[in-house]
Each structure stands twice: as structure tokens, then as C-alpha cells.
């Protein structure tokens, strides 16, 4: 019997060690891939395979990022302020629109096709009109971000609200629950996964929308900085600001993930073995 127990313990330890190695490998795959791609990029530039005026090396991009950091930080603060205000307004507007369309079927039939239609219009096409209507200040940037972030929030939340099992709603009604109680206890918890999925997409759209709006005019922002260095053919600085924009977008998406883990602890517990 002792031998059997020893063999079972050894088997369990082996499985635990295998799971730990698999978890570590899973976490390292993405960083190692990025490092490998950067290494190949640096090798192609160092060997002269790609001319420097066409593609700056990662080392030059990092040098440009560090050298221009004070200026980039000021422009990034402007873009983040625009993205934050636009994202907050887009989330609020999308939340209200989704609740209204879920509550009133006539509103859903009337306005849902219009919501979808807004996504067929390129943001680059409406950006000049917003600048014409609202000037070169912060307002047209915020409006463009609202247009870009409104759709994922509205559609995600609306689909989540409408995915609730009708039997659960009937049960709540039979127990005397009001519409507000049904929304609070049944519909919103069921819609949270779709809501956060849409919010994650909107967070990435917010930074990109701010930069696109700043291309067409403004006094500060990463899009303004990018336009200036492009005209000066400073491609190392162009890549530096691209890296910074990607980093800011990833940071906002990480914030959304952290918020999701905080508001949906049951999801994390269900994944634990």
C-alpha cells in the first residue's frame, strides 16, 4: 500500500510540475516572440539589408524615444485627456442607448440600424467635418472618439442584455420583482462579459481616434507630434511615437481587464482548478 501511495504522490507532483512549466511557458511565449522579432529587425538594419532611411533600427527608435521623452510626455498627456473624456462620454452614451433599446422594442427597430450605419463611415472621412464645425480645440477630438467608442459599448451591452434566459426573467416576475430589480439582479450581471469586451475594444479605439483627429489640426497631442516629425522625415521619431501609442493603448486595455477582474470575481474563481 505504501508503494502505491508513493507512486500516486510522485504522479501528482509530476502533473503539478508539468502544469507549472506549461503556465510559465504560456506567459513567456508572447514576450519571447516580441524579443525575437525585435532582434531580427535590429539584425536586418545592422547588416544593411534595409536602408536606414527606410526603416530605423530598434536602437535608434529607443534613442529617439528617450531623447524626445519630455516633449512626447506633454503630447501624450493631451492625447490621454482627449481619449479619457471621449471614452467616458462614449461609454455613458452607449450604456443609455443600450438600456433604452433593450427596454423599448420600437426604439431598437428604429435606431439599431442607424447605430450599425455609423460604423460604415470611416473616421478619417468625418474628422475634417468635425474640425470645420468645432474648430481646432479639444471638442472635435472628443466627438470623434465618442463616435468611435459608442458602437462597441452599445452593441456589446445590448447583446448581453438580450442574451438572458427568458425563464429567469419570468421567474423574477413571478416572485414580484420590478423591472429595475430584474435589470440589476439578472440582466446586468449576464451582460457584463459582453460589456467589458466592448469596453476593451473602445479603449484601444480611444487612443487611435485621438491621434487621427489630431492629424487634421491642433496645437498639442501625439497626432500633432507625428505630423511634425513626418514632415521632417524623422522616421526614428515616427516609430517612437507609434510605439508610445501602442503602449498607451495596451495600458488602457490592461486597466479594463483589471476593472473586469475586480467587478467579476466569480469569473476568476470559475477558471481556477
**pLDDT tens digits along 29-65:** 778 888 888 888 888 888 878 787 778 888 888 888 8
Q: What is the dihedral of CA 221, 225, 227, 233, to 10 degrees?
A: -170
Cα–Cα distances in angstroms (integers) from residue 122 to residues 162, 171, 205, in the given order: 28, 44, 13
Fold of domain 58-271:
MetI-like fold (1.10.3720)
pTM of the model: 0.79
pLDDT surpasses 60 at 8 = no
Where do the domains of the chain lie? 1-51, 58-271
The pLDDT tens digits of the residues spanning 227-237 come to: 888 888 888 88
Q: How high is the pLDDT of residue 89?
A: 93
Amino acid at each position: 500500500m505504501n508503494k502505491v501511495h508513493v507512486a500516486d504522490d510522485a504522479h501528482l507532483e509530476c502533473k503539478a510540475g508539468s502544469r507549472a512549466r506549461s503556465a510559465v511557458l504560456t506567459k513567456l511565449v508572447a514576450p519571447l516572440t516580441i524579443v525575437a522579432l525585435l532582434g531580427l529587425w535590429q539584425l536586418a538594419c545592422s547588416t544593411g539589408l534595409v536602408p536606414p532611411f527606410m526603416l530605423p533600427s530598434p536602437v535608434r527608435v529607443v534613442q529617439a524615444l528617450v531623447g524626445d521623452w519630455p516633449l512626447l510626455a506633454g503630447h501624450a498627456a493631451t492625447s490621454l485627456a482627449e481619449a479619457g473624456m471621449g471614452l467616458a462620454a462614449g461609454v455613458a452614451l452607449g450604456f443609455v442607448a443600450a438600456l433604452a433599446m433593450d427596454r423599448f422594442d420600437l426604439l431598437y427597430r428604429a435606431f439599431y440600424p442607424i447605430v450599425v450605419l455609423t460604423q460604415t463611415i470611416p473616421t478619417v472621412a468625418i474628422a475634417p467635418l468635425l474640425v470645420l464645425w468645432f474648430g481646432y480645440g479639444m471638442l472635435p477630438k472628443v466627438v470623434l472618439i465618442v463616435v468611435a467608442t459608442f458602437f462597441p459599448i452599445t452593441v456589446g451591452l445590448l447583446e448581453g442584455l438580450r442574451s438572458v434566459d427568458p425563464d429567469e426573467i419570468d421567474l423574477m416576475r413571478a416572485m414580484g420583482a420590478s423591472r429595475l430589480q430584474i435589470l440589476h439582479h439578472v440582466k446586468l450581471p449576464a451582460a457584463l462579459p459582453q460589456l467589458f469586451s466592448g469596453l476593451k475594444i473602445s479603449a484601444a479605439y480611444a487612443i487611435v481616434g485621438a491621434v487621427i483627429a489630431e492629424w487634421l489640426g491642433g496645437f498639442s497631442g501625439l497626432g500633432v507630434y507625428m505630423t511634425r516629425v513626418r514632415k521632417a522625415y524623422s522616421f526614428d521619431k515616427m516609430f517612437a511615437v507609434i510605439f508610445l501609442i501602442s503602449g498607451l493603448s495596451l495600458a488602457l486595455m490592461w486597466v479594463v481587464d483589471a476593472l473586469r477582474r475586480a467587478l467579476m470575481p466569480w469569473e476568476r474563481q470559475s477558471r481556477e482548478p
